[in-house]
Amino acid sequence: MACRGDVPGIGGVSQRLLRLAGAGGERAAENGRLDAAIGEQYGRSKGRSGSRKIHRSLKKQGWQVSHQRVARCMRQLGLQAIVHRRFRACTTDSRHDQPVAPNLLERCFTVAGPNQVWVGDITNLPTQQGWVYLEILYDRERLHSTLGYLTPEQFEQLTPQLCA
C-alpha cells in the first residue's frame, strides 16, 4: 500500500528514474542547456577541442559538471575532436631509378687504423626560421667527429655536388 502519496515503482523502475526521464523535468532542461553550451564551445574551437578542454572551459563559465558527463553528452551529440597528427618529414624515397651507393663496409665495423672508415648521418630539424639540416661525420677509429648544419638554401646548393 502506498503511503504519503507515493506511487510504487512500475515494473521495477524507480520513481526517481521516472522523474529524471520526464519530458518536462528539471534535469532534461539542464541537459538541453548543457548540450547547447557544449555545442557552442565545440563550434568556437572549430571542432578541435575534446571533452577535457570543453569541461575546463565550462567550469570557468560556472558550470558544475563532471568530465564524464561532458564526454557522455559529446558522444550522444556525435561530437568528436579533430586530431591533427604531428608533421613527420619523409627523408627517404626508395621508389626511384637512380643508382644506389654500394655498401663498402658490409657490416664489418672493425677498423685497422685511423682515417680508414668515416661514418656520417644527416637529419632535418624544424626551427622557427624553417628547416635546418644537421650532419655529423666521424672517424670510426679515433672517434674524431665533425658537426655542422646547413640552411635549406645551402643544402639545395650542395645537393647536386653530393649526388654527382
Highest mean pLDDT among 58-72, 89-103, 140-154: 58-72
Q: Select from 96, 147, 95, 102 the least CA-distant residue to 121.
A: 147
DSSP string, 84-131: PPPP--------S-SPPPP-SSTT----SSTTS-EEEEEEEEEETTEE
H or E stretch at 139: strand 130-139
Q: Residues 55, 69: contact at Cβ < 8 Å?
A: no
CA dihedral sign of residues 156, 162, 163, 164: positive
Where is mean pLDDT largest: 3-17, 73-87, 141-155? 73-87
- pLDDT per position as a tens digit, 130-151: 888 888 877 777 666 666 777 7
- The CA dihedral of 12, 18, 19, 24, to the nearest 10 degrees, is 180
Residue 1 has pLDDT above 50, yes or no: no
pLDDT at 20 exceeding the cut of 70: no
Residue ranges of domains in the chain: 15-77, 90-164
pTM of this structure: 0.44
pLDDT digits 0-9 by tens, 111-131: 888 888 888 888 888 888 888
Closest C-alpha to 148, from 158, 160, 163, 133: 133
Residue 163 has pLDDT above 60, yes or no: no
